[in-house]
Structure 1
Amino acid sequence: MNTPAPTTPRQATGRHGIFSHELRSEDPSRQEELPAAAAELEELGFGAIWLGGNSSVRHAARLAGATERVVLATGILNIWYEAAAAVAGQWSELDRAHPGRFLLGLGASHAQLAQNYRRPYSTMVEYLDALDAAGTPVPVERRVLAALGPRMLRLARDRAAGAHPYLVTPEYVEQARAVLGEGPLLAPEVTVVLESRPDRAREVARGFLDYYLKLPNYAANLERLGFTGEDLTGGGSDRLVDALTVWGTDEAIRARLDAYHAAGADHLALQVITGEGGDTPPRAHWRRLAEIVGPGARGA
């Protein structure tokens, strides 16, 4: 039996969630494990599961029946790939079955990754208009935007429950909070490497960051924060790697996560990077992370 979710995403998601591309895997050999892994994250106390990698409502629906309270969110649904009217219908069906438990994260992706990419801001506005005009509209309070720049942040403030930025620092969070104001949800993705050795932690982080640092949207945002072209090459300078990834002792990891909250984040979507790759959910790492951010991963 489902437990009714709190009325707002800010209340429902708590302080910590897990961001995972593994839990939206299409690998047939993984399909039995994914619901069990989601149920364990709920048991560990995480308030939300963010499904990365161009995720969709159907990916969340596969996990909904195995869980009762955890918020299931797309991080993000790519607006170039799925029509708004169809998404609204899928959202309505999932919400009827599991009321208040799904958060629709929307993003405009990148020109290098999406066909027919054009005018991302205007297209996002049109997409939100279509969600509002659907037979069963997706409510403003049940959607968030993958916003980075000030213009998209203002749209997240005015047309959604808040923002879910990716690959950002506490300094960025402080700036984003100033744009959003006090009310909207600010739920950044935060990359975590559970490694205390600097050389190994940075090696794992660079293997992850190299791909993203080549995408102009992320590069431009990091340059706005004061990083240079030299910082963005070779998987990132030590300065950039240490700013974008959380690693170290348990105490150091807690302190870094606290810095995001202190800067204005309501909820952290924690993505654990192991350096192993593949679609295997890193469940042992999630258990350790729950111990680090406890008592109870969800927090107050």
Structure 2
Amino acid sequence: MLGRVGIRPAEIDSHPWAEVVDAVAEFEDLGYGTVWTAEGFGRDAPTQAALLLSATSRITVASGVANIYRHNPHTLAQAQRTLTEAFPDRYLLGLGVGVPHLAEMVGRTWGPPGATMRDFLDRMDAALFTATPPNTRLRTVLGAVGPRMLALAGERTWGAHPYFLPAEHTAHARQILGPDKVLAVQQGVVLNADRSAARETARENVRYWIEHSSQLPSRWHAVRDLLGFTEDDLADGGSDRLVDAMVAHGDVEAVAHRVQQQFAAGADHVCVEILSTPGAEPTLARKQYAELAAALI
């Protein structure tokens, strides 16, 4: 369903819909198995998925991830079932808890992540749906980082979608999920043959994460514990070792090597996300994804 390699155009909300559709059609023609879409305060996950599924013929569309504080579990369950019935085996719903301030922005009270997600899944399962039901399986993954959310993903869903984490975390996640669950990991990438320039762009993305790491401390805890980093590695936008672990950077060969490392660590699917310098002109990275296709697919 997902294919081995998918993509996550980072700036999809910054472009008119006609440009997005044209780009995704190209990605489909290049052979990518899945297009992943984020959800913030732009296009909402089910609407965006419906539009993309209608505009394409083969590629899987994955909401990666829909924030549960922004959605009612009953209506989201109805949307998932509707899309699965209309587009069999082409829609994947990813769910995540996000960070506390996002819950507060929509007037919700932040709760314990695991218990809140479990309750949301219970309510989705219990949702009434009187339309024609899908003939294929509903597929849901959790945006899981820490061991408790990974365990919940293994217990209740199709699998997990860890975001912005090194291959060592992939091996850790596979141990918790077990062999039979889908592990679809995101891999941040800076594609630039100038290795020094590529690393600096990667560092700016790691710097942004470090500056906001208090909002989601589980990611730093996982990286620190698995790779032996210390607080010193957080200085000046991140040590070289931290930057190299978090982001694949360099030429096509370097990126392909990291993707293979993710597979070797236990990933079933790798979602490649081209990263640019934060604040730069938004781009759908069509040229870069075309360059990578021959090496990754």
Relative to the length of structure 2, the TM-score reads 0.88
**Contact preservation (8 Å) 1:36, 1:66:** no
Match of 2:237 in 1: 235
1:37-81 deviation line (CA, Å, top 9, x unaligned)? 111111111111110243511111121111111110111100111
Match of 2:126 in 1: 133
Q: Give matches, 1:74-85, under 5 Å.
A: 74-85=63-74
Q: Tell me the number of residue pairs that the alignment of Structure 1 and Structure 2 aligns.
A: 280
Counterpart residue type for residue 107 of structure 1? G
Label 1:95 to 1:141 Cα distance change in 2 as closer, same or farther (>3 A): closer
Q: For residues 65 and 141 of structure 1, what CA distance do their matches in structure 2 show?
A: 18
Alpha-carbon offset, residue 218 of structure 1: 2.0
Q: Where does structure 1 lack aligned partners over 5 or more consecutive residues?
A: 1-11
Alpha-carbon offset, residue 224 of structure 1: 2.0
Alpha-carbon offset, residue 196 of structure 1: 2.8
Alpha-carbon offset, residue 201 of structure 1: 1.0
Match of 2:224 in 1: 223
Label 1:141 to 1:229 Cα distance change in 2 as closer, same or farther (>3 A): farther
The structure carrying a bigger helix percent of its residues is 2
Identity of aligned residues (%): 39
Query: 2:284 is paired with a residue of what secondary structure?
Result: coil
Query: 2:238 is paired with a residue of what secondary structure?
Result: coil
1:198-221 deviation line (CA, Å, top 9, x unaligned)? 321121112222222232232222
Pair 1:46 & 2:20 matched: no
Pair 1:123 & 2:116 matched: yes
Query: 1:50 is paired with a residue of what secondary structure?
Result: strand
**Contact preservation (8 Å) 2:53, 2:61:** yes
Pair 1:175 & 2:151 matched: no
Q: Among 92, 106, 112, which residue is 2:81 paired with? A: 92
Q: Among 111, 115, 127, which residue is 2:100 paired with? A: 111
**Contact preservation (8 Å) 1:140, 1:159:** no
Alpha-carbon offset, residue 19 of structure 1: 1.4
Q: For residues 181 and 141 of structure 1, what CA distance do their matches in structure 2 show?
A: 20
Q: Give matches, 1:1-300, under 5 Å.
A: 12-23=1-12, 25=13, 27=14, 30-54=16-40, 56-115=45-104, 116-136=109-129, 141-213=138-210, 214-215=212-213, 216-225=217-226, 226-275=228-277, 277-293=280-296, 297=297
Label 1:62 to 1:234 Cα distance change in 2 as closer, same or farther (>3 A): farther
Q: Where does structure 2 lack aligned partners over 5 or more consecutive residues?
A: none
**Contact preservation (8 Å) 2:199, 2:243:** yes
Alpha-carbon offset, residue 124 of structure 1: 0.1
**Contact preservation (8 Å) 2:38, 2:45:** no
Counterpart residue type for residue 105 of structure 1? G
